[in-house]
Amino acid sequence: MFAGKKILVGICGGIAAYKICELVRELQRQGARIRTMLTPAATRFISPLTFASLTSAPAAVDLFAPSADDIEHIELAKWPDMIIITPATATTIAKCAHGLADNIVTATVLATRKPVMFIPAMNTGMWENPATANNVMRLHDFGYRVVEPEFGAMATRIEGAGAGRLPETETIISHVFQYQWPDKILDGVPLTITAGRTVEKIDPVRFISNHSTGRMGFAIANVAAAMGARVKLVHGPTHLRPPANVETFSVESARDMFEFTREHYPENGILIAAAAVADYRPLHYSCSKIKKQKDEFALPLIKNPDILLELKKLKNKSIHIGFALETNDVLANAAAKLSKKNLDFIVINNPVDEGAGFAFKTNKVKMLFPGGKILDFPLKDKLEVAAEILQNATRLLINKRATE
Ligand code: CTP
């Protein structure tokens, strides 16, 4: 996700400082080169040695430390592709909002011309204080990105669930990913995605479902948000955390997924159906657990609505993209779905391809267009696959808008 990217992480003096070790690790796992700097207060919560060990590079703490070719904060300010300040405390936010440069972190922020993202975490009272709100507004005005802290339990446990909590590492990674995305080709475009599996209940303890994790749909949502789209994600049960800047609707059954997708159907935008929807559900739901009886047991099923097919019939101006998961007669089956559902293109994948399918972070796809054009891609990270899908969708949307 961040292959070759140079990221400078500035750690401030808040209890969430310990969580930044995991963030640094995850950024590294995703290919980033990391350097770190700590405010004096941060060193009271966590040792610079921890970050030096994690990154195999010195953690900067001293504003006046001599450096080989430049003054340290000037050298640090020039080095990265982007800077992350986290947990951004009320004090560091206030200092940066007023151009103060009294420690290595604030001095580097003042000196840099690189993009800076603040990820605050603090006590709810401090976050909601008008002084902090005003300082955050100033940071926005200066062109910095400030991520909203989350609601939920914090170290002091005072006032329980107020805002101020540091987002989970996965969410921070999604914010960073979207921030460093270069082109906003979908700026303001409404885009709805279905993702994951549906669950069709048989009785209070059993259900019909499949192995879909939602990874592909979530990756599309993440990249679409990075490209500037207004993303709505209707998803079935999954362990995945939703990407940043995406409106999510968690559903269970195919019928619920249909209702929510219809309600949030994009007008003059893009609909991507990546969900593995159960084709059938039990005809009758049994309110009590079904008991074991004869050797053979037949469960009557009834067809679920085909979400994509039904929505396409509404004939709005959106681009419609489907997925075809096929194990045999791949192209013929996908071509039949493309034409039956009247799609703008269909993304074909085969779960038995190596590295492709449900739980993998990679996928190997083909895109089939009306008229028979095929784009065949090698095995790629699902985020890269998502970018290919969205670039093609954008091209079609631009053409459609131009011809209407
Ligand atoms: N789809 C949908 N609603 C359904 C079934 C499928 O919206 N009830 C969408 C999927 O999200 C996907 C496309 O239709 O984009 C094709 O889904 P797939 O399960 O591959 O095909 P089906 O149409 O269900 O046909 P079959 O199960 O016979 O392969």
pLDDT for 222-246, tens place per residue?
A: 999 999 999 999 999 999 999 999 9
Burial class (CB in 10 A: 0-12, 13-18, 19+), 237: middle
How far, in Å, is the centroid of ligand 1 from the Cα of 399? 26
345-369: average pLDDT: 88
Query: Side by side, which strands form the sheet with 246-250?
Result: 246-250, 230-235, 190-195, 270-273, 319-325, 345-349, 365-368, 374-376
Residue 289 lies in a domain: no
Catalytic residue, from 129, 210, 333, 350: name it.
Answer: 210
Q: Is the pLDDT of residue 162 over 90?
A: no
Instruction: Identify whether residues 115 and 36 lie together within a single domain.
Output: yes
d(CA 30, CA 108): 25
Token pair in block for residue 351: 């779960």
Q: Determine whether 110 is exposed, middle or buried from the number of CB atoms within 10 Å of its CB (0-12, 13-18, 19+).
A: middle
Q: Check if 92 has its Cβ closer than 6 Å to any atom of ligand 1.
A: no
Span between the terminal Cα atoms of the chain, in Å: 37
Based on the fold, state whether residues 167 and 197 are members of the same structural domain: no
Q: Are residues 201 and 336 in the same domain?
A: yes
As a dihedral over the C-alpha atoms of residue 16, residue 22, residue 27, residue 29, rounded to 10 degrees, the angle is: 180
pLDDT of residue 32: 98
Please give the pLDDT value at position 71: 77
Q: Confirm if 20 and 9 have CB atoms less than 8 A apart.
A: yes
Cα gap 21→11, rounded to integer Å = 10
Count of CB atoms within 10 A of residue 154's CB?
24
pLDDT at 159 over 60: no
Tell whether 59 and 165 lie within a shared domain. yes
**pLDDT over 70, % of the chain:** 97
**Structure token digits, residue 67:** 């450096």
| Mean pLDDT along residues 130-149 | 98
Range 104-122 average pLDDT? 97
Q: Does 33 share its domain with 145? A: yes
Do both 24 and 172 map to the same domain? Answer: yes
CATH number at residue 68: 3.40.50.1950
Maximum C-alpha span of the chain? 82
**How far, in Å, from the CA of 67 to the mean position of ligand 1?**
60
> What is the phi-psi region of residue 388: left when phi exceeds 0, alpha when psi lies from -120 to 50, beta otherwise?
alpha
* Residue 132 resides in a domain: yes
Ligand 1 atom at minimum distance from 308 CA: 7
* 210 catalytically annotated: yes
